[in-house]
Structure 1
Amino acid sequence: MKHLNQFNRLLILFTFFLPLTSAYSQNLAHKIDSIITTQFNDTSGPGGVFMVAKKGKPIYHKAFGKANLEWGTKLNPDAVFQLGSITKQFTAIAILMLEEEGRLKVTDPIGRYIPDYPAGDRITIHHLLTHTSGIRDFTKMQSLRDIAQKEMTPKMMVDFFKNEPVDFAPGEKFDYNNSGYVLLGYIIELVSGESYEDYIQHHIFSKAGMNQSRYASDRQIIPNRAYGYHQKEIGYVNKTTISYSIPFSSGSLMSTATDMLKWQNALNQHLLLSSAATKKVFSQYKLNNGETFTYGYGWHLRDINGIPSREHGGSIFGFKSMGVYIPSEDIYVLGLSNCDCLSPTQTTKDIAALVLASFQEQRRD
């Protein structure tokens, strides 16, 4: 009888708690909706997909707007977007995977792999990973327009910018740099003997179960593709066409919100890297003068209301992206947009701040 009474009390407590939990989730979802629709409010135009996950599982996942304006097709939560510079996360992890295999070291000078690179004896892989190399960013070169639609090999891309004057000596300052991540992709190819595309596909996407992720293409048929747009005075127009061999390992990957959560979970579960190597990825480093800067290997290391976060955004013709992870709470928030007129950056940060505060308040109650 005593055990029966305990069971009844637990049953009553569970029956009481379940509606509260459901009401809490609905209220949180409504608040997230409100943040998103402040900006993503054109139901007849391009839009975005947003996901919030807690402890590796989605608690919010919705699509807003159209995937294709010509056909009037709605975006769905599993649409495939171009990631832009979130690609750098995959490039950085690939480098650390090769280091764990003993095939390179982040302290290696790049001249060990590219002997004719100017000052290659002083610029290290670490400098490339942390945007402290001083190499000229190719996206700031006016001559970029001359090659924007050409099919370039990684070596051709490196040759395109390698003889440009440097902006500063290696390690002197942090300056976000796409050229450094193109060099990293080239080094991945030289060391692994595989193309960058194949290396990421075989060693990361396949291993993490990211079945809808890939190297970008405008020619191949990609099921559930979100088409990219610009907004002009006349209205929305199709995105500018570029060769994806140009951004290469600095910005040419595609994925879905579901696959990006698999990516985050693979990192947390050390599926790709050991805990020691993962710590290197998310450590803060110092400049030559001893000053600490807030970028690890492929992630900005920031905070939300004083709580450490790992963040990165991306932008490529027709698309913008933003991901925020809060390690202490295991909260992951991702925003993907198919118009470069709709940046999900602040929206994603605002959602992360809301969800963080919400879970903190729930614990206090």
Structure 2
Amino acid sequence: MTKFKYPLFLLVLSVFITTSTLSLHAQRLDAGIDSLISRDFNDPNGPGGVFMVSRKGKPVYQKAIGKANLELGDNLSPENVFELGSMTKQFTAVAVLMLEQEGKLKVEDPISKYISDYPNGEKITIHHLLTHTSGIKDFTKMKALSDIAQKEMTPKMMVDFFKNEPADFAPGEKFEYNNSGYVLLGYLIEIVSGERYEDFIKKHIFDKAGMGRSLYASDRKVIDKRAYGYHKKESGYVNKTIISFSVPFSSGSLMSTTGDMLKWQNALNRNLLLDAKEINKAFSTYKLNNGVEYAYGYGWHIRDVEGTPTREHGGSIFGFKTMAVYIPSEDIYIIGLSNCDCNSPTKLVGDIATFVLRGIKEKHW
């Protein structure tokens, strides 16, 4: 019996050391990210942000700082629902690829195939819309935008609002970030599927991915644990400017939580929504007419953090700013959601990604 005691002791010691090491690494991770967040988000009594880092599909760090509602004094938590702004474009792009996978359209199709009277529509393809290379005037840069900002617009009304504006350049000539292209994509989704955009996204993406806290934005609906949006003026914080979500539409009108956005990332990784061939189109880079490559796929910027490839996108809409970075090689997803457009999480999320990657390389976790 005596001879088994020493190996058993070594086993127990090994488990203890391993557990202690993992605990130390976790503490180092938490402390490092806490320090970065407190640099940029340091007002517990103002609007703030919610942050999450996940690895291999599971959260390894979560933090909420600030208030979800200044009038009621409610603290932010990971359960709060935020407006995503342009992170909506990921969902629109994947919806288009889902329709392609079903054989209902091709990204090479000219938009004139679906909207016969669209100016120069025979030369502008769905691919151009997805990659911000269409040359169509961005409606957010039009002076007349204030005339419709609070009106209830149909997708066709939105398309008609900008379609006769002079083009900024010929299709495929330049990459220039463009919200109009993604509004057009939402309209095409409705034409091809026969469903409203918000219904299509809910049924075919949110429900399939188990994203029960995600929805098309509304200021009228009662939304459990809604984070309210704010601006910061010289006099202090004020409630966000009210707009009609039918204006940004499929370019920026979805809402979600950090937890649901992780479900979204996991669904993409598991090919739950698209097969590998289709989803890879979203994460590829493409070339302009002159052969110059640009770092944008379908709904994602294709970038890197210190040489490690990433897929990224942020968002900005009245009262909110958002940012997410995914690192495929490590299956790490980092997201920050802010409920004041005075606090952008873009640089912070990038800094967290750098910190985490360096920790992995140095075997800190």
Q: Deviations over 1:184-236 (max 9, x none)?
A: 00000000000000000000000000000000000000000000000001100
What's the offset of the Cα at 1:4?
7.3
Q: Deviations over 1:128-166 (max 9, x none)?
A: 000000000000000000000000000000000000000
Amino acid at match of 2:190: E
What's the offset of the Cα at 1:345?
0.3
| CA distance, structure 2, for counterparts of residue 105 and residue 278 of structure 1 | 14
Amino acid at match of 2:263: K
| CA distance, structure 1, for counterparts of residue 39 and residue 9 of structure 2 | 46
Question: What is the percent sequence identity of the aligned residues?
Answer: 67
What's the offset of the Cα at 1:77?
1.2
1:339 aligns with 2:340: yes
Q: 2:207 corresponds to which residue?
A: 206
1:181 aligns with 2:182: yes
Amino acid at match of 2:268: L
Q: Deviations over 1:4-26 (max 9, x none)?
A: 76554333211111011101101
Q: 1:89 corresponds to which residue?
A: 90
TM-score by length of 2: 0.98
Q: How does 1:279-358 map to 2 (within 5 A)?
A: 279-358=280-359
Q: 2:22 corresponds to which residue?
A: 21
Q: How does 1:89-128 map to 2 (within 5 A)?
A: 89-128=90-129
Q: How does 1:208-227 map to 2 (within 5 A)?
A: 208-227=209-228
**Alpha-carbon contact 1:320-1:338 (below 8 Å) kept:** yes
**Alpha-carbon contact 1:320-1:336 (below 8 Å) kept:** yes
Q: Deviations over 1:302-356 (max 9, x none)?
A: 0000000000000000000000000001110000000000000000000011011
Q: Deviations over 1:39-97 (max 9, x none)?
A: 11011100000000001100001100000000111101110000000000000000000
Amino acid at match of 1:227: Y
| CA distance, structure 2, for counterparts of residue 313 and residue 91 of structure 1 | 14
Q: Deviations over 1:89-143 (max 9, x none)?
A: 0000000000000000000000001101000000000000000000000000000
Q: 1:260 corresponds to which residue?
A: 261
| CA distance, structure 2, for counterparts of residue 26 and residue 233 of structure 1 | 38
Q: How many residues align?
A: 364
Q: 2:153 corresponds to which residue?
A: 152
Change (3 A) 1:4 1:194: farther
Amino acid at match of 1:111: S
What's the offset of the Cα at 1:270?
0.4
Amino acid at match of 1:286: K
**Alpha-carbon contact 1:331-1:356 (below 8 Å) kept:** no
Query: Which structure 1 segments of 5+ residues have no match?
Result: none
Q: How does 1:13-92 map to 2 (within 5 A)?
A: 13-92=14-93
Q: 2:231 corresponds to which residue?
A: 230
Amino acid at match of 1:305: E
What's the offset of the Cα at 1:361?
0.8
| CA distance, structure 1, for counterparts of residue 112 and residue 12 of structure 2 | 68
Greater Cα shift, 5-14 or 334-343? 5-14
**Alpha-carbon contact 1:185-1:196 (below 8 Å) kept:** yes
| CA distance, structure 2, for counterparts of residue 212 and residue 26 of structure 1 | 30
Amino acid at match of 1:277: E
Task: Give the SS at the match of 1:324.
Answer: strand
Query: Which structure 2 segments of 5+ residues have no match?
Result: none
| CA distance, structure 2, for counterparts of residue 333 and residue 188 of structure 1 | 29
